[in-house]
Structure 1
């Protein structure tokens, strides 16, 4: 696809002017005009109509594989319709990863950045949802900050709206949908709650008839709680459910909170209360197994459970050979390292009530002079698909201007990088700026925002700075780790 390319050449011209004013900026631009790779290779690319991209989800639909990509707010021309459309959801056929084919764009809410678009997307098949139509495929997405929507995407070229969840919401973000039960944990800002993001639990087992179950958050966030309580300072980012537990991450950048929640208790409510779901201190505490406050300099963007890991280094030990781990990723937020360094952490949760950090992984700045390249440098997220090909073996991290990093986590006490891919900038890649002596200094830089895998083993990365979607595969020693 070449959509949107002709309209974005002025960005490269502007970058050239920046180069003329600053040798450092010029070096930054030229450094990414070519891809950089180790043990990873690019298979295919789609420009996603030059839209700033957040969340990819890949779904097998019959003999096809479809990528659903959520976008941040903004507006771009859609060559398929000939109209300017607010960023929403891109739907791309990736059956052939070397030739991804853009199918349709579903516009989102008016607004810029976090305020508009349709950032989050999840997909479930009617075959697994308990009360859905068997032959259907359903997509759950956010609509800006004001709603959650369910679409019938059985024919991904022609999505149709099934239902909407509204209610004076003021923000939405990274939902989780249990395809086997239909339970959805919707991240919203509900009326009266003292945080901009908390969790609304819904039964979406019948996508046409959403059923509200309860609101949930930290003590101190609920309506009527004293302003002095600490919980109001933390925004929910996103949950991940595995088995009987839900792993919640609050605050992505600083002052993080990690919660491990008993799913059954959350869904049934406190049996000793008159109203089991009323957001009282007691009812909000009832399903909590542990609440773990991070260092003030750390956040909890992604909390990915890796349970039952057999640790090769501990194989000869009588005890402790198998551990439950939680992979925690912080989010870099500020351009050109004007912040604390954000990275990935491994937390031992074998004893759930006493989590303990055991290691971290970061990309050394000097490996690519990343602080001077422009844009954000640091971690953002990991893949969440638990395909057996990679689960508990390799993790893929989105690292903004350091691209995609492949990390061997088989020994969670010593995670090590085994591959990386930093895409080349494109004519669509947008600039990123900081203030220097009161004036903007801008550079064009790759901003790999989120990553995901599919069950075939392909790796998908989408770019925050309008550079599109990159589809990757492993090579060399990295591939050997997961080769059958």
Structure 2
């Protein structure tokens, strides 16, 4: 995807096989606005209500061999793909504000794929007048920018020491705790978790490293699949949901947040197991790319039951990797974690291939990720899934 699009959801249409020059296919969605992002391949967008505006912070993959450094039309200079900042207050007319360059490298090797944003007024030690962007700096590091003026981002912190990789981190804006997907040298996987107190964005303090037993330094035997990302529900729920194995041999891990932050920190097998309260081990065919928790979901069919009328659900989405259906199908899985020690898959969602002849269209067919917003307008009501050549599904 090399553009930012904004959609709304009236109307109806039937999916048909793609034809060159044909109009976009849509069912209960329509295109409202568009920005070409200077031709940069978009990955993770974070939409943030900032003052009286809505600002999109969009992470990019690296460039291509043909165009390793697209032109920044605002400066007239070619720049490695990084983070685009777009004013989307008027969805019909998105306005490109700034581009923060990332690291050299094409595709997954460069760029700055991930973004998280917190207001200083919510962070315990943040400047109330400021807004902060946490992003990865390629696979090498993590950075925090002051984006109070989104057109003029200013670097305020960078993690020192080169990592083996980075990916999809999480930042609790009310506490400042940051769960950073990192590749700390010595660990047996390229992605594990570094936890920082980032309540003062200019001076983060490391708390600990974390991963699955068998991933830690000096361990032996089989190595569990590496981390993809996590989602924390913060202090009140006291749970963090980790996803391992993007598209194979995956696991969804439920962790006691307080034990994770305050328990013994040396990465021994015993200490790594200590905060875990539940784990779902997936098949060799599927992974856990995104683990999106939806607790206390009312189940209409169970409304009259004396117990269990509400269930804690985690939506797991795994990522299709190969083109044209050349591997097991990836999809969205719904897991009942009400009894945390015994997670159970209760249903799944997938797009029928025959509805659009998706295996023969070219590119990937299957899920990639879900939205991660907990805004009341959609949370626990409508989920949005990125589905590669089958588009966006809700």
Q: TM-score, normalised by structure 2?
A: 0.92
Aligned mate of 1:121, from 104, 115, 118? 115
Residue number in structure 1 paired with 2:228 = 237
Greater relative contact order (CA < 8 Å, ≥ 6 in sequence): 1
Unaligned runs of 5+ in 1: 4-26, 270-275, 407-484
Q: Does 1:286 align with 2:274?
A: yes
Cα deviation code 1:249-282 (max 9, x no counterpart): 001111001100000000001xxxxxx2110111
Residues 329-478 of structure 1 mapped to structure 2, 5 A cutoff: 329-406=317-394
Residue number in structure 1 paired with 2:132 = 138
Residue number in structure 2 paired with 1:459 = none
Residue number in structure 2 paired with 1:426 = none
Residue number in structure 2 paired with 1:52 = 41
In 2, Cα distance between equivalents of 1:267 and 1:73: 34
Residue number in structure 1 paired with 2:11 = none
The answer to whether the 8 A contact 1:234-1:251 is kept is yes
The answer to whether the 8 A contact 1:121-1:139 is kept is yes
In 2, Cα distance between equivalents of 1:354 and 1:288: 12
Q: 1:60 Cα deviation (Å)?
A: 0.7
Q: Cα RMSD (Å) of the superposition?
A: 1.5
> Which protein shows a greater Rg?
1
Are residues 32 and 235 of structure 1, via their aligned partners in 2, closer, same or farther at CA, if it must alter by over 3 Å? farther
The answer to whether the 8 A contact 1:146-1:166 is kept is no
The answer to whether the 8 A contact 2:280-2:344 is kept is no
Residue number in structure 1 paired with 2:298 = 310
Unaligned runs of 5+ in 2: 4-15, 64-68
Q: 1:31 Cα deviation (Å)?
A: 5.3
In 2, Cα distance between equivalents of 1:194 and 1:200: 14
**Count of residue correspondences:** 373
Cα deviation code 1:198-250 (max 9, x no counterpart): 00000110000010000000101111111x1x3x2411000000131000000
Secondary structure at 2:123's aligned position in 1?
Answer: coil
The answer to whether the 8 A contact 1:52-1:72 is kept is yes
Q: 1:316 Cα deviation (Å)?
A: 2.3
Aligned mate of 2:188, from 194, 213, 217? 194
Q: TM-score, normalised by structure 1?
A: 0.76
In 1, Cα distance between equivalents of 2:51 and 2:21: 38
Runs of 4+ in 1 over 6 A off after TM superposition: none
Aligned mate of 1:207, from 201, 204, 217? 201
Secondary structure at 1:114's aligned position in 2?
Answer: helix
In 2, Cα distance between equivalents of 1:309 and 1:28: 36
Secondary structure at 1:49's aligned position in 2?
Answer: helix
